[in-house]
Chains A and B, each alone.
Chain A
Amino acid sequence: MATVVLSSIAKSFGPTKVLGGVDLDIADGEFLTLVGPSGCGKSTLIRIIAGLEHQDAGSVAIRGAGVDHLRPHERRVAMVFQSYALYPHMSVRANIALPLTMSRLKLRQRLPLVKHLSPGRREILRGIEADVGAVASQLQLDHLLDRKPAQLSGGQRQRVALGRAMVRSPDVFLMDEPLSNLDAKLRVHMRTELAELHKRLGATFIYVTHDQVEAMTMSDRVAMMDSGSILQLGTPSQLYEKPASLKVAQFIGSPAINLLPASVAAGGRLELFGRPLALAVDEAPGRSVTLGIRAEALSLSHGEPGSAVFSARLRRKENLGSEYILHFDLAGRDAAAGVTMRASPATAAGIHEASEVTLGFDESAAHVFGADGERIEPRGQGAATGSVVPLRA
């Protein structure tokens, strides 16, 4: 059972606190992604799991046993680096074989000159060769085995790095931004390949990325991190549909969620741009809150009931082919940044740039965040109906 359990991991580099007591339980065979902006501590966390970095406090347990006193290779985890960290002077074959040479050959069988005197080395090498061949054919690297890393394309290097990780058949894979050095098209392709690899190997994957799309598309669960702590842990849809805080809501989803300032009126009813909404929260009147509305929740208003409206002016249309992203200004309002809306080509064709329209949204699809950025559950009807799928971890 390759579970990974982190308990109150803390780490500082000098005066800078990087991790402030992180707890995380990762199940056997799970694909867990650590996502967050750069500097949020996700890379440090994965390096602590690997044993490349030592935590100041807290403990790491793999397969139910503490590993804090173990050195990286003794933890039996594999890691794929952002730079791939392929040994430039070795062939692909030797790169993939290295973990096996290290574990299966004794020191005297590896030393220059001395190694030729050691008995039994041949058979071991043959076994290694067979294992390397098996991994290489899984990753379609057979024809590249004699090349040096410098002679490979980015995608091929990536696969060699994966091969080097797979060859020991570890049950925990650590991946530190493995796709960030690939071009956009290859990245999309490798996402699928990684997800399939995970299914095929059935191993535990811990994956670090700053790209929310990678987090959403591949993971069983996502841990969104910021400033050294986990803001929210859940399935991709939980993070998207029930963001626990403003930061999560802003980070997850593209185009970014629309944020509109609202205030609490008497009885907890919310007001948007001076107009009362049906939404109500348990907050004192007069406080300001933020409404988060996904781009697909906005629509051109035709005065449907239960839907809030406001007026906006079209600034720009972005044609994505299958749909349009419309950018609106809220002229004269505080939300100078404006809002974005997804629209079908037909809808988009009906609006001209600089024209005034009335936008509306289903109030039940709006997320409410308090002044501290925490999610506030709307009172009564609003929360139960609507499109939010209540999912609990």
Chain B
Amino acid sequence: MAMAALATPASFASVARRRRWIERVTGLGFAMPALVLLLLTILLPLGALTLLSLTNYEFGGTDMDWVGLKNFQRALADPIIRRSLVNTLVYVAIVVPGGVLGALLIAVLVHRRKQTRSFYEVIYFLPVTSTLIAMATVWQFLLHPSLGPVNALLKWLGFAPVAFLSEPSTALATLAVIGIWQLLGFNMILFLAGLTAIPRDLYEAAEIDGCAGGIDRFLTITWPLLGPTTMFVLVTTMITAFKIFDTVAVMTRGGPVGSTEVLLYNIYLEGFQYFHTGYAAALTFIFLTFILVFSVMQTFALDRKVHY
């Protein structure tokens, strides 16, 4: 039979098929634990959250009714939630420029140091590794109206003491400064990595071409070539700042008079203190929407990396 001649290629094909089959099974096997965990800890909860947000369920309660989009309507009309959203955005609006531009400035200055570079790196990075909750206690003391050294310094300079954390007009800004303190070093390290990636040749060529001053050098080389890094740092900082919770929870608990109530803190209160589960689920979706918008910006920022 003519088919006999094809026996060898056919067995090759069956070997290849078996190989493919093995690869598929191994692939699935390797991915399975991750897939199961992904389902159990992210996807199913997300689904449950969606359902919860449409109910008036209260954790521990027995009855539960569908309320449709009422939770969302209530949230958007709730003055407390509005205030907390505004507070969160104000906080972001302070931390982002401070944390990004400050880190950029420090990174540019540190980058050109030779002997002192690692010294500065370590010190600026220290707050990133420290436990913020523990340090928050220290900050509280530092800023204490009567016992803290900051106010002692202000008095010595002839200013009136400021009750940083118990004054509605200053509390949120004070938390923002602590936020900047916490993430400045992280951003600085990212900027330093971006700066290191700029070839030294370019600075030398620029020097010969007449970019002698720091301003020219920065505008001609550093800033444009750091563009992708800057975008990335900007968006990560926005996301981090938007998730402000720790300092509020330990230092101000939303006070004084709600001036530091932020979105995540309200979600925590509604969901885990008052157990207004359905309502908190709706709030969580509002929170997630913002995070997603920032993340989409990040994707665009990463895309820009290739363009030049």
Contact = CB atoms under 8 A, between A and B. Distances in A.
B219 A81 contact: no
B208 A79 contact: yes
Interface string B229-272: 00000000000000000000000000000000000000000000
A391 interface: no
Interface residues on A, range: 20 to 34
A199 interface: no
Nearest to A103: B210
Contacts of A112: 219
Contact of B219 (A111, A148, A164): A111
A44 to B, nearest CB: 13
A99 B210 contact: yes
Interface string A71-89: 1111001110101010111
A254 B307 CA distance: 44
B202 interface: yes
A72 B212 CA distance: 8
A114 to B, nearest CB: 11
A376 B147 CA distance: 87
A89 B224 contact: yes
A161 to B, nearest CB: 9
Given A110-B216, A110-B219, A71 B207 contact: yes
A212 B205 CA distance: 26
A164 B224 CA distance: 19
Given A110-B216, A111-B219, A112-B219, A88 B208 contact: no
Contacts of A148: 308
Contact of A52 (B199, B208, B215, B227): B208
A150 interface: yes
B221 interface: yes
B209 A98 contact: yes
A10 interface: no
Interface in A88-137: 88-90, 98-99, 102-103, 107, 110-112
A73 B212 contact: yes
Interface string B119-151: 000000000000000000000000000000000
B225 interface: yes
A359 interface: no
Contacts, number: 72
The interface residues of chain B, by DSSP majority, are classed as: helix
B204 interface: yes
B201 interface: yes
B79 interface: no
A221 to B, nearest CB: 24
B27 interface: no
B201 A87 contact: no
Q: Which of B202, B205, B220 has the most CB of A within 10 A?
A: B205
B213 interface: yes
A250 B202 CA distance: 36
Interface in A144-164: 148, 150, 164
Q: Which of A71, A85, A99, A164 has the most CB of B within 10 A?
A: A85
Contacts of A87: 202, 205-206, 220-221
Nearest to A81: B201
B211 interface: yes
Contacts of B212: 71-74
Given A71-B212, A98-B220, A85 B205 contact: yes
Interface in A168-216: none
Contact of B207 (A73, A88, A103, A150): A73
B207 A52 contact: yes
Contacts of A368: none
A309 interface: no
B60 to A, nearest CB: 59
Nearest to A87: B202
A225 interface: no
Contacts of B199: 83, 85
Contacts of A90: 224
A232 B219 CA distance: 44
A385 B201 CA distance: 51
Contacts of B219: 110-112
A324 B296 CA distance: 65
B308 A164 contact: no
A78 B199 CA distance: 19
A50 interface: yes
Q: Which of A74, A87, A103, A107 has the most CB of B within 10 A?
A: A87
B216 A107 contact: yes
Contacts of B308: 88-89, 148, 150
B220 A77 contact: no
Given A51-B208, A72-B212, A89-B224, 18 more contacts: A52-B208, A71-B212, A72-B208, A73-B212, A74-B212, A85-B202, A85-B204, A87-B205, A87-B206, A87-B221, A88-B225, A89-B227, A98-B206, A98-B209, A102-B216, A103-B210, A112-B219, A164-B205
Interface of A: 50-52, 71-74, 77-79, 81, 83, 85, 87-90, 98-99, 102-103, 107, 110-112, 148, 150, 164
22 contacts: A52-B207, A71-B207, A71-B212, A72-B204, A72-B207, A73-B208, A73-B210, A78-B208, A81-B201, A83-B199, A85-B199, A85-B202, A85-B205, A87-B205, A88-B225, A89-B224, A98-B209, A98-B210, A98-B211, A99-B208, A102-B216, A164-B205
